Amino acid sequence: QNRMLSLLTASSLGFAPIAPLPASGVHARLSQPVMETEEDLKVLASKLNPAVGYWNPTPLVDMEFWGQSQEATIGFLRQAEIKHGRVAMAAFVGFCLQANGFHWPWACTLEGLSFGDISAAGGPAAQWDALPTNAKFQILGFVGFLEWWGENSYALAQSGEKHYMRGGKPGFYPSFNKGNIPHPVPLELFDPFGLQSKMTPEQKEKSLLAEINNGRLAMIGVMGLICVSKGLIVPGLDGVKIEAYTGQYMAPFAASDNLPFIADMLKVNLGL
């Protein structure tokens, strides 16, 4: 954590209004590769849940994805868990809000279609189906940009980090403003209000452990809500009233989108 604080300081100095640094200065801002091993996962597991500890029922940690090293594979798995956990936390909160009729009070299209109209379509998944096709493309395109920026080696380097399969910190998301985006971005995707900059290294470590645990619970929770909406029995959610969804969760587009091949794809029963 002390190393990360020093890197953030060095990164900010690198963008101060002074004479440009030589090429060697740029490399000095980059964090030194720290590849996690299986032993590091065991230590992390004991901190996350001392009662369970390290439990690995799959051979994923022992594999070498795409011909990379075991350490690079561990970096990929750690990044995947943190990212899926963050998405699941947002999805769980969003599912609960949408299922209870919460929505923005204004129009979502220039034609006058309101978020209230979308909310009236049914549960969260039915609301997605009710979105105009162009709105779906905008959302998917924005998510695609965020994914590309987070994987971009240049953007990571400008924030003093490396790719998570090259020794970078799993879960790290590069700054928009340090990446020379043509216009300023008021809020960063990660830590938009700068709260972490005021935390001690011990507080940051505790916060990261809580984020991983909460993400794991959220992944279980959102899948439970999805299963209930499909009429399945989920222990602990028997009394929860969730509007049934007759569409397919695995299909990002519906027949109403009137796109090529969509009608044929929807004929495939994917179970959800």
Residue 197 φ/ψ, nearest 5 degrees: -65, -20
Contacts of 21 (CB under 8 A, 6+ apart): 14
Q: Given pLDDT bands bounded at 50, 70 and 90, which one contains residue 28?
A: very low
Return the pLDDT at 271: 60
Res 179 pLDDT > 70? yes
Res 27 pLDDT > 70? no
Q: Which of 5-14, 122-131, 140-149, 163-172 has the lowest mean pLDDT?
A: 5-14
pTM check: above 0.75:
yes
Q: Given pLDDT bands bounded at 50, 70 and 90, which one contains residue 254?
A: confident
Return the pLDDT at 73: 95
Is 6 within 8 Å of 28 (Cβ atoms)? no
pLDDT > 90 in the chain, percent: 64
Q: Which of 84-93, 199-208, 247-256 has the lowest mean pLDDT?
A: 247-256
Average pLDDT value over all residues in the chain: 86
Task: Give tens-digit pLDDT for 66-81.
Answer: 999 999 999 999 999 9
Return the pLDDT at 184: 81
Q: Given pLDDT bands bounded at 50, 70 and 90, which one contains residue 45?
A: very high
Q: Given pLDDT bands bounded at 50, 70 and 90, which one contains residue 261?
A: confident
Query: What is the three-state SS of the chain?
Result: CHHHHHHHHHHHHHCCCCCCCCHHHHHHHCCCCCCCCHHHHHHHHHHHCCCCCCCCCCCHHHCCHHHCCHHHHHHHHHHHHHHHHHHHHHHHHHHHHHHCCCCCCCECCCCCCEHHHHHCCCCHHHHHHHCCHHHHHHHHHHHHHHHHHHHCHHHHHHCCCCCCCCCCCCCCCCCCHHHCCCCCCCCCCCCCCCCHHHCCHHHHHHHHHHHHHHHHHHHHHHHHHHHHHCCCCCCCCCCCCCCCCCCCCCCCCCHHHCCCCHHHHHCCCCCC
Residue 149 corresponds to which amino acid?
A: W
Task: Give tens-digit pLDDT for 84-123.
Answer: 999 999 999 999 999 999 999 999 988 889 999 999 999 9
Return the pLDDT at 126: 94
Return the pLDDT at 24: 42
Neighbours of 89 (CB within 10 A): 18
Q: How far apart are CA 23 and CA 55, in angstroms?
A: 44
